[in-house]
Amino acid sequence: MNHFYIETYGCRMNICDSEVIVAILSKAGMKYVNSMSDADVIILNSCSVREDGHNKIYERLTEIRKNANLASKVIVVTGCFASLLTDKLFKQYDFVNIVVNPNCYRQLPDLLQQIRVGKDHLLKSLMDSDEMYGDILPQRVIEDRTTAAINVMKGCNQCCSYCIEPVTRGHEHCRDVESVLKECDDIVSLGYREITLVGHIIDKYHSIDSKSGKNIDFAELLKIVAERCPEQRIKFLSSHPLFFDERIAQIILSHPNIMRVVHLPVQSGANKVLRRMDRGYTKEQFVELIGRLRRVIPDLTIITDVMVGFCGESHEEFEETVDLVKSLQFDDINVFCFSMRSRTKAFKLYADDVDEEEKIKRAQTVKDLRDSIKYQKNKRFLGQRIGVIVESKDNLGRYYGRDLFHHSVYFTSDIPLAINDKVIALVKEVSCQGLIGNVYSI
């Protein structure tokens, strides 16, 4: 039982967690493999943010049950969803051996040893721990070769009415600056071109420098990381409109290696919906924030999230969201249909009363508007030369990369390129998906 495989679902934070699991099990003498068939242990690292995250795990477990060879292996469920599970899962899927939530990954080697000696159906879950795994260097076998992510904080104290994150991840806990910088140095040594700092509301990061005793907020951390790693692009996610400090924008502006992109989820353009969501700001306050950011960095890429079909969302309230999108002209939008989560305030107080077909229709309306805006914005790059880092190559020989503003660029080259090469691409076509061209110079 020495070979293990991990399948990761959900957000970037879960990818970071999977890399931590790889490091823990590798230190215990196990070996990571990249296919289920080669593994003795199969780990499903789950997500709980939306219902489809739960469904994907159940669907995967059902697929495994139908395959006698896979079902005979040691099956482990980890991740946020594991925080919500009880031993009832073992009755429904009796071939699952272990369930472990994100605070207990250090115990995985011991739990697997218990399986080796005949124990079964082990559930290990610890809620609201300050465990950040800051002393563990991820092995980076799952992430791509260009971007490496660092979890700098976890949990959330905001308790938006629809969100299960405070239950599954607990209250906010932050890593110390020293452990973050140690991981940055490791990422640089491995040749990555980009570092992504990750936190649920990363603007609320805070720590105390052990040497100086100085309070470190996120703006200061961003500055420290950018100056520590001057040859790497630095990105961060996600922010919250209530806590995004304009100092962060100033730090972005004053450091050429920090990507000109922020992720600021608005969720809705209707104040009544925002109140039911417990977001803590109004549409007008959000519009004012975007205006201030664009005055500091006029060409800043702004990505947002829109949730359609939240409890009680009327047609008029949805149209307010559409009007907001038209007004603010976001550079990209992640669009989600509301999914009711048990153990949230919304579950206790509201009804999931927007028809599913209507949710899908509203989501498509926002997606169509998003794509139209992106296409019109991308046309301004026609004929321009864009600095790009090569991230991948498809089967047709077309390369893909992103620029400093997080624009996707697809391009060809007469000269073979390597992953992480820096090139200048000449933009000849555009679509809502990105910029299209060929290499102008290397």
* Continuous H helices in 258-401: 271-277, 283-296, 315-328, 345-349, 356-378
State the Cα–Cα distance between residues 407 and 435, nearest whole angstrom.
7
**Token reading at 231:** 């040859």
- Are 359 and 386 part of one and the same domain? no
- Are 151 and 275 part of one and the same domain? yes
- Are 362 and 387 part of one and the same domain? no
Biggest CA–CA distance in the chain, Å, is: 66
**What is the reported pLDDT for 323?**
98
- Are 361 and 425 part of one and the same domain? no
State the Cα–Cα distance between residues 261 and 295, nearest whole angstrom.
14
Q: How many domains does the chain have?
A: 3
- Segment 137-162 shows an average pLDDT of 94
pLDDT tops 90 at residue 381: yes
- 89's CB contacts (< 8 A; 6+ apart) are 77, 96, 99
The model carries a pTM of 0.95
pLDDT above 90 coverage of the chain, percent? 90
pLDDT tops 90 at residue 396: no
Please name which of 289, 354, 372 lies closest in space to residue 318, comparing C-alpha atoms: 354
Angle (CA) 356 357 360, round 5°: 90
Going by the DSSP 8-state scheme, the letter that residue 266 receives in this structure is -
Can you give the length of the chain in residues?
A: 442
Buried b (16+ CB within 10 A) or exposed e, 374-399: beebbeebeeeebebbbbebeeeeeb
CA 387 to chain centre: 25
Please name which of 13, 439, 440 lies closest in space to residue 201, comparing C-alpha atoms: 13
Contact predicate 206/215, CB 8 Å: yes
- Share the mean pLDDT of the chain: 95
H/E element, 219: helix 218-228
**What is the reported pLDDT for 386?**
97
How far, CA to CA in Å, does 228 sit from each of 57, 222, 224, 281? Answer: 39, 10, 6, 35
- Are 172 and 306 part of one and the same domain? yes
| The CA-based dihedral angle spanning residues 313, 316, 318, 322, taken in that order and rounded to the nearest 10 degrees | -170
pLDDT in tens, 221-264: 999 999 999 999 999 999 999 999 999 999 999 999 999 999 99
Confidence bin at 143 (pLDDT 50/70/90): confident
**Residue 135, in any domain of the structure:** no
**Residue 129, in any domain of the structure:** no
- Are 166 and 115 part of one and the same domain? no
pLDDT above 70 coverage of the chain, percent? 100
State the Cα–Cα distance between residues 259 and 187, nearest whole angstrom.
17
Backbone dihedral region of 339: left (phi > 0), alpha (psi from -120 to 50 degrees) or beta? beta
**Residue 141, in any domain of the structure:** no
**Token reading at 267:** 């969720």
**Residue 306, in any domain of the structure:** yes
**Residue 297, in any domain of the structure:** yes
pLDDT tops 90 at residue 30: yes
Lowest mean pLDDT among 205-209, 274-278, 375-379: 205-209
pLDDT tops 80 at residue 50: no
**Token reading at 24:** 């823990």
- Are 328 and 214 part of one and the same domain? yes
What CATH number does residue 220 fall under?
3.80.30.20
**Residue 131, in any domain of the structure:** no
- Are 348 and 392 part of one and the same domain? no
Confidence bin at 201 (pLDDT 50/70/90): very high
| Sign, CA torsion 353/358/364/365 | negative
| Structural domain harbouring 69 | 3-124
**What is the reported pLDDT for 440?**
86
- Are 285 and 169 part of one and the same domain? yes
Residue 101 corresponds to which amino acid? N
Please name which of 157, 173, 309, 326 lies closest in space to residue 242, comparing C-alpha atoms: 157
How many other CB atoms are found less than 10 A from the CB of residue 189? Answer: 8
What CATH number does residue 16 fall under?
3.40.50.12160
What CATH number does residue 395 fall under?
2.40.50.140
**Residue 130, in any domain of the structure:** no
Give the domain-ending residue among 55, 89, 124. Answer: 124
pLDDT tops 90 at residue 338: yes
How far, CA to CA in Å, does 29 sit from each of 2, 70, 74, 307? Answer: 7, 22, 17, 44
**What is the reported pLDDT for 318?**
98
SS3 assignment, position 184: helix
Q: Which residues pair with 222 in a beta bridge?
A: none
- 158's CB contacts (< 8 A; 6+ apart) are 166, 201, 240, 242, 278, 280
- Are 373 and 386 part of one and the same domain? no
pLDDT in tens, 346-380: 999 999 999 999 999 999 999 999 999 999 999 99
State the Cα–Cα distance between residues 435 and 162, nearest whole angstrom.
36
Confidence bin at 11 (pLDDT 50/70/90): confident
**Residue 142, in any domain of the structure:** no
Give the domain-ending residue among 56, 90, 124. Answer: 124
pLDDT in tens, 167-182: 888 899 999 999 999 9
Between 13 and 322, where is the model more confident?
322
- Are 210 and 232 part of one and the same domain? yes
pLDDT in tens, 281-316: 999 999 999 999 999 999 999 999 999 999 999 999
**What is the reported pLDDT for 10?**
84
- Are 343 and 224 part of one and the same domain? yes
- 220's CB contacts (< 8 A; 6+ apart) are none
State the Cα–Cα distance between residues 436 and 431, nearest whole angstrom.
8
